[in-house]
Amino acid sequence: MSENYNYNYLPSGPAGASLVLQSDCENCYGLCCAALPFAVSVDFAMNKDAGQPCPNLQTDFRCGIHTALRDKGFRGCTVYDCFGAGQKVSQITYGGKDWRQAPKTSSQMFEVFPVMRQLHELLWYLTEALHFQSAAPLHSALSTALEKTEQLTNLKAEALLELDVAAHRGEVNELLLRTSEIVRDAARRELKSVPKRQAKYGRGADLIGAKLRGADLRCVSLRGAYLIAADLSGANLQAADLIGADFRDTNLSGADLTGSLFLTQAQLNAAKGNTLTKLPPALVRPGHWT
């Protein structure tokens, strides 16, 4: 790949912004541990209702079993990523007051958190999109969408709860889809060895348990694909669009994910991999990988 396809980016806001799009649990009040529900499954060892603090959440908002979550049956907690929404709600929207200090607003804070999380996820994708040089014709529109989304994150709690997030996501998704098409087309021209005829998966493709070991998946769209327990070991996913792909228990051992589009840390955390798996520079190798 040429220099144009080195997709190294920093997950931060636009120039001059202090917005951080990575979870900072030190500055969050355990919102994901209290606001969100979960049910007994392979990911969680118990049921918990929305707004009910997890029994493992300590008074200092730290997890009492953080170092043994997977062993204790709470694998889902190790996968989750709020894209920095937790500290934004805690420190900005509510000015540093935690839900235990202000119990009258706790239920509202718990409702605001999922809204903020969606907006921060969009900020992550838009920030990445702006670092694709081949998408320069869309940079103005992407910048506008990024600025608008950041402004929405600064709304007061009441306004956030009235926000039509689905409509905004739809607008942003159209831009991200166009960005993906432009970037992947440019990558195909750069990567002359990409097969002219590749499998057409389409959004939401059912690839559960698929045998794709060593597959050439460069420049393909796997947007929203169900790749649960699929074997992608040794597969080449350079310049592949992975937005929303379900990587639960996907085998990524030895796979090449450098230059992939819209991959998140949460997706990697849900997958299986090893030291031979090649990752984009902005993401880290999960601790449970071999």
What is the block-wise mean pLDDT of the chain (290 residues), using blocks of 10 residues? 32 41 87 95 95 94 93 92 94 92 90 97 96 96 97 97 97 98 94 72 90 95 96 97 97 97 96 97 91
What pLDDT score does 282 carry? 85
What pLDDT score does 26 carry? 82
What pLDDT score does 1 carry? 31
Q: Does domain 196-290 have CATH number 3.40.50.1970?
A: no
What pLDDT score does 198 carry? 67
Q: For the chain, which residues make up each domain, given as ranges?
A: 14-36+80-186, 196-290
What pLDDT score does 197 carry? 63
Q: Are 258 and 236 in contact (CB under 8 A)?
A: no
CB atoms within 10 A of CB 99: 25
Q: What b/e sequence results for 216-242 when a residue is b if at least 16 CB atoms lie within 10 Å of its CB, and e otherwise?
A: bbbbbbbbbbbbbbbbbbbbbbbbbbb
Size (the chain), residues: 290
Q: Are 147 and 172 in contact (CB under 8 A)?
A: no
What pLDDT score does 247 carry? 97
Q: CA-CA distance, 278 to 285, in Å (whole number)?
A: 9
Q: CA-CA distance, 76 to 182, in Å (whole number)?
A: 34
